[in-house]
Amino acid sequence: MGACCAAKRGGDKTNQTIDISVNSTLQSDQGMIALEGGRFMMGTDDKIGFPADGEGPVRQVEVRPFLMDETAVTNTQFKRFVDETGYVTESERFGWSFVFHLFLEDKNAEYILQPVPETPWWYGVRGADWRHPEGPDSTIADRFDHPVIQVSWNDAMAYCQWAGKRLPTETEWEFAARGGLEQKRYVWGDELLPEGEHRCNIWQGTFPTYNAAEDGYVGTAPAKSFKPNGYGLYNMSGNVWEWCADWFHPTYHIMATRKNPTGPPEGSNKVMRGGSFLCHDSYCNRYRVAARSSNTPDSATGNLGFRCVADG
Please tell me the pTM assigned to this model. 0.94
Q: Which among 284, 245, 243, 209 has a CA at the least distance from the CA of 63? A: 245
| DSSP string across 81-108 | HHHHH----HHHHHTEEEEEGGG-S-TT
pLDDT, residue 2, reads 45
CA–CA distance, 202 with 236 (Å, rounded to integer): 12
* Multiple choice CATH, 37-85+144-311, 1.10.3720.10, 3.40.50.80, 3.40.50.1820, 3.90.1580.10: 3.90.1580.10
pLDDT band at 96 (very low <50, low <70, confident <90, very high): very high
pLDDT, residue 11, reads 56
Q: Between 75-85 and 153-163, two packed helices, what is the crossing angle to 10 degrees?
A: 70
pLDDT digits (tens, 9 = 90+) for 97-143: 999 999 999 999 999 998 998 899 999 999 999 999 999 999 999 99
In Å, what is the CA distance from 124 to each residue of 7, 107, 111, 140, 149? 9, 11, 9, 19, 15
Q: Which among 162, 150, 309, 304 has a CA at the least distance from the CA of 231? A: 309
Q: Which among 250, 300, 269, 205 has a CA at the least distance from the CA of 55? A: 250
Q: Is the pLDDT of residue 86 over 70?
A: yes
CB contact set of 3 (below 8 Å; sequence gap of 6+): 116, 118, 119, 122
Q: Is the pLDDT of residue 16 over 90?
A: no
The Cβ of residue 157 has, within 10 Å, a number of other Cβ atoms equal to: 19
pLDDT, residue 15, reads 42
H-helix or E-strand containing 311?
Answer: strand 309-311
* Range 242-253 average pLDDT: 96
SS (H, E, C) 111-136: CEEEEECCEEEEEEEECCCCCCCCCC
Q: Is the pLDDT of residue 223 over 60?
A: yes
